[in-house]
Amino acid sequence: MQTHDIIIFTVVLTTVSLATAQSVLLKLSDKAEEVPLVNKIIGILGLCSAGFALFFSRIFMGEVESTILMLLVLVIVFVNWITGKIKNARGPQPEKLPIPDTAISSLEPNPKLAWCGNCKAHTLPGEVTVRNTNEYGRTYMTYQRKVCGHCKGNMLWNIPSNIRQSTNWTLGCSGVIGLVTIAGLIAYGFYKIENGLLIGVLAGILLIPVLAFLVWVLYLRLQWCRWLRRQPRGPSVYPSNEAKH
């Protein structure tokens, strides 16, 4: 496999995987104007990459390589389609009820407090007991999971200031890994350094989960920022400069 084939495989599979995964895992709105820009870009890149793999890859790659790429793209799309079908088969979600004041920890935006993206409010935390069972129905492990005290939704990565910090760190990591990937492929393609190919491929593989995590924290961050922009402005809402972030 040539260097440009590896680059094409990495770019196409990464963008298609991120685009299909976000359509299943993230609760994106059906209205285009309500979808964050980063998610729109990922969706467009994924669609273009899938179209390239299915219709134009044979122009730039060998027949065997292009066939493998097309099959991998179809597998990714099929797996995410099945996942979406299973998710939708759970039935319609009940209509959201107004959040009682007793479930809200603060009516004013505060990046240091837990914030539920489902309730769009600073809700009090809660816990549920998760039981793992074997094929005989016997419980072999139990643990407590943090949830929103109102909707019982997952409350992992629910503090805006922590999400912001995670986003910055992940952006930095993805940039460094991306540069290592490019440098490794260039070293192999132009200078025939064999270790460059190995480094480039390993870094490219590592880059996929890092980018997936980056999309997730960016989505959480944008949820908070969109809600924050809709809140009334004034000294009573923002007691300190820190709350603006």
Please tell me the number of Cα atoms within 13 Å of 167 on its side-chain side: 17
The pLDDT assigned to 211 comes to: 85
Give tens-digit pLDDT for 204-238: 888 888 888 888 888 888 889 889 988 886 544 44
Examine the domain organization and report whether 59 and 80 are in the same domain.
yes
Arithmetic mean of pLDDT, 150-177: 88
- Tell me what percent of the residues of the chain surpass a pLDDT of 90: 22
Residue 101 maps to a domain: no
Examine the domain organization and report whether 61 and 129 are in the same domain.
no
Examine the domain organization and report whether 139 and 165 are in the same domain.
no
Residue 96 maps to a domain: no
Q: Hunting for tokens 């489902």 — which residue is that?
A: 118
Examine the domain organization and report whether 31 and 53 are in the same domain.
yes
Give tens-digit pLDDT for 48-86: 999 999 999 988 888 888 898 899 899 888 888 887 776
Contact 129, 144 (CB under 8 A): yes
> How many domains is the chain built from?
3
Residue 95 maps to a domain: no
Domain containing 146: what range? Answer: 125-156
The mean pLDDT value of the chain amounts to 82
Split at pLDDT 50, 70, 90, the class of 176 is very high
Split at pLDDT 50, 70, 90, the class of 245 is very low
Which two structure tokens, joined as six digits, stand for 28? 């994106």
Examine the domain organization and report whether 190 and 142 are in the same domain.
no
Which two structure tokens, joined as six digits, stand for 118? 């489902």
Examine the domain organization and report whether 3 and 18 are in the same domain.
yes
Examine the domain organization and report whether 134 and 146 are in the same domain.
yes
Examine the domain organization and report whether 213 and 131 are in the same domain.
no
Residue 18 maps to a domain: yes
Q: What is the pTM of this model?
A: 0.69
Arithmetic mean of pLDDT, 167-196: 87
Backbone angles phi, psi at 158, to 5 degrees: -110, 0
More confident residue, 133 or 53: 53
Burial class (CB in 10 A: 0-12, 13-18, 19+), 87: exposed
Task: Indicate if the pLDDT at residue 169 is higher than 90.
Answer: yes
Query: Residue 15 CB: number of other CB atoms within 10 A?
Result: 22
Residue 75 maps to a domain: yes
Residue 238 maps to a domain: no
- Distance, CA of 86 to CA of 109 (rounded, Å): 36
